[in-house]
Structure 1
Amino acid sequence: MDDSDLLDLAARLAQRAADAIMAVRAAGFAVEAKRDLSPVTAADRIAEALIVDGLREATPGIPVVAEEAVEAGLAGGPAARFWLVDPLDGTREFAAGETSFAVNVGLVVAGRPHLGAVALPAHGEVFGGIAGLGAWKRDAGGQRPVRARRAPAEGPVVMASRHYADDPRIADFARARGAARVVHIGSAEKFCRLAEGAADLYPRFGTTMEWDTAAPEAVLRAAGGEVAQWDGTPLRYGKDDWRNPPFLARGLA
């Protein structure tokens, strides 16, 4: 498979998982707690099984690292090339009846996100991209290219986590950059809004995991944006603990 085939696979599986997630929401579900006390639902498990099984069948030579398997101690370590999967990014939002949750399927090559697909089930959208080759958005209107933008003259739109709405660092960041407004939502949707030119900056001060960011970083980079630590160092993938340092995602500089 070439990169185009791999992205098509990732997008197809992300869409299948998105459909399954919405079916679980329609049927009703229970919310359980994982070992770290974060929530998990049947939607997380069903979506992960669909994606992991599909990736392993289609690309048996590429290891798959997925969130729930890692949490259960069942996932292997990273390789020179491996899939990183978050089957339901934003479980809290999903469980609360919100709309900002996502499905992330990303391919990491040599420690960096190379391509990825992000589905936004509640919005009926899928974003995809290959670093250096462009990004796209697919919805009920079809598929079209997307591109990050330069911040408008009236000030940038800042995306921030819904769970950090009261963090004074977000307000300080927005004020220092003359932000037009701050939008608080959950999940990888924030990266997607930067990728399509609907927002400009996403500062992250708290902890994220690599499966939270691999696919959406690939999409944003493909759309012309970037993600880096606060000192400008690129995020690296395949770390022992899978944790990301704080970072800043941005559209066109």
Structure 2
Amino acid sequence: MAVFALIGTLWVHYEFWGYLIVRPGLLGSAKNIIEVEHLIPIRTDFCDTDKPCGLTIDKQSTLVEILNSSQGAPYSPNAKPLLNHLQAQGKLPSSFEHNVQEALAIYSAMLQSPIIATPDEGYTQDFLQGVVLIGKTKAGHKRAFVSARGDQVANDHYPYYQALFAIEQNGNSIQYLDGQRFFFEVAGIEGFEGPLVIFIIWGVLVLIFGCVPTAFIIIVDTLWQHRLHQQSED
């Protein structure tokens, strides 16, 4: 029962948050980008389920602003894993670029990638806000890496995406290569995730489906044996 409860707990945690135990860090394949050409903040225009969205360069966003906000927003993750990696490698630019239109071509490929979450009725999957890194691998292959969050796909339930794309034919061909996503909450149950929560839920499940039925069976069996004993004496 304990084993089945643990498997069930991990499954529920994965289905809701998008990972088993610990939030994923930077996508491993993104670290293959060793030459940074552009670092661009992006976001979609305001849109809803009745209005198509369009990706734009977020000219109001600054690198310092995102670095500071990411440190104080543990339940609203953004590009911190990417920025920390670039900083550790000594490749973090001093500021964002706000005039690289090449980043906007990623939008359609991103929305068609398998990591995009399917929203509940009345919500949209089209919103993105984050950072696009364009650079090259050691072999000289051009890559684009997107680190962005989406709008809520269910009540207070937001997706966070990381996706790697190959850029070929002078930017005319963009192919999805790799990605990951997880979710976070901004109200109600934010922070109710991770190892401690898994342990608590596992304990509750063991108690409900293991200890309680076992205790009930023991009580019933004891009463039954007591009754049989009385009948045999009579």
Structure with the larger RCO, 1 or 2 (CA within 8 Å, 6+ apart): 2
Higher strand share: 1
TM-score of the two chains, using structure 2 as the length reference? 0.26
Structure having the higher Rg: 2
